[in-house]
């Protein structure tokens, strides 16, 4: 039995978990227990490793874009005006 590439494609749920782990790791609030739990999660399924590496790559790319654009700390998201009228 051969493994097909689609068999190694992480599900959306795995990508969400991977993004959560990557963000927690980047936050700097990651202790030894967190590290052990992450290692356990990564070891449970190769798709976890694939998704986690992709998330880290995406975070590294976006971090570089923020730095080159000078918006890392200046990014502000504004809500839509509540009184907007659509015609």
Q: What is the pLDDT of residue 8?
A: 82
**C-alpha to C-alpha distance for 48 and 21, rounded to whole angstroms:** 10
Task: Say if residues 79 and 45 touch (Cβ distance below 8 Å).
Answer: no
Task: Say if residues 51 and 10 touch (Cβ distance below 8 Å).
Answer: yes
Note whether residue 6 is domain-resident: no
Note whether residue 87 is domain-resident: no
pLDDT digits (tens, 9 = 90+) for 20-51: 999 999 888 889 999 999 999 999 999 999 99
By residue range, what is the domain housing residue 33? 11-69
pTM, 2 dp? 0.67
Of 15, 1, 2, 22, nearest to 45 by C-alpha is: 15
Note whether residue 76 is domain-resident: no
Output the average pLDDT for the chain.
80
Domain count, the chain: 1
């Amino acid at each position: 039995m051969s493994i097909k590439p689609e068999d190694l494609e992480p599900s959306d749920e795995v990508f969400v978990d991977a993004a959560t782990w990557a963000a927690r790791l980047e936050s700097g609030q990651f202790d030894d227990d967190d590290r052990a739990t992450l290692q356990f999660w990564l070891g449970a399924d190769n798709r976890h490793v694939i998704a986690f590496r992709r998330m880290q790559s995406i975070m590294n790319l976006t971090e570089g874009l923020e730095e080159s654009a000078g918006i890392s700390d200046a990014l502000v998201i504004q809500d839509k005006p509540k009184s907007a009228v659509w015609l």
